[in-house]
Amino acid sequence: MTDQHKSTYKKVVVRRLDHEVIKGFVDTTNFLKPDTVEILDREGRTVSVPLAEIKAVFFVREFDGNSHRSERKLFQSRPRMAGLWVQMTFKDKEILEGLLSGNLIELNPQGFLLTPADLYSNNLKIFVPRGALSDITVLGVIPDRRVRELSQRRSVRAHGTANSERQIDLFPSPEEKKL
């Protein structure tokens, strides 16, 4: 690993459909090939794993994680981060919730890059190949609060009032009914 690429290599744990686990590093800029995922294993060998054999690629803080901590796979309430709140059902019936980017440009035809429900777990991101899933359901669209607030501030500057104050009335007010 050269110094110029050191920051793009991230720790991953690849879980195959046959439950085999491969630990190593991936170059986040080009680990995904048309039909494979390219991993630099812990011994420094390049390993190409067919995408069709992968259940998920976990981008992790540490290779071994915390075996005493139980990881949440579902959100306990509505997520606060922006994105598409999804529930994925794997072919082996395991269910996992997370957030996908709301930016359609970031969606990959080979799979989904998911922010897991448990932000304090060892998993930072999870790449799930489309072929590993039997179903994916969008549970909600979580808007970016900062974008909405910025839009309202711009509207106030341009029009002198917030959007909610400029909204048309759908029903006459009590004062208008008396007239």
Q: How do residues 100-150 score in pLDDT, each as one tens digit? A: 988 877 778 899 999 998 888 899 999 999 999 999 999 988 888 765 565
Instruction: Specify the DSSP class assigned to residue 143.
Output: -
Amino acid sitting at position 12: V
Average pLDDT, the chain: 82
112 membership: H or E segment, kind and range = strand 111-116
For residues 38 and 47, give the distance between their C-alpha atoms in angstroms, rounded to a whole number: 6
Residue 56 tokens read as 């998920």
Residue 2 has pLDDT above 60, yes or no: no
This prediction has a pTM of: 0.74
Q: Give the position of tokens 């050191």.
A: 6
| Residues 99, 139: Cα–Cα separation, whole Å | 10
Domain ranges of the chain: 6-63+73-142
> Phi/psi at 16 (nearest 5 deg)?
-85, 165
| Cβ neighbours, 10 Å, residue 75 | 18
- Residue 9 structure tokens: 């290599």
The DSSP 8-state label assigned to residue 121 in this structure reads S
User: Which H helix or E strand runs over 57?
Assistant: strand 54-60
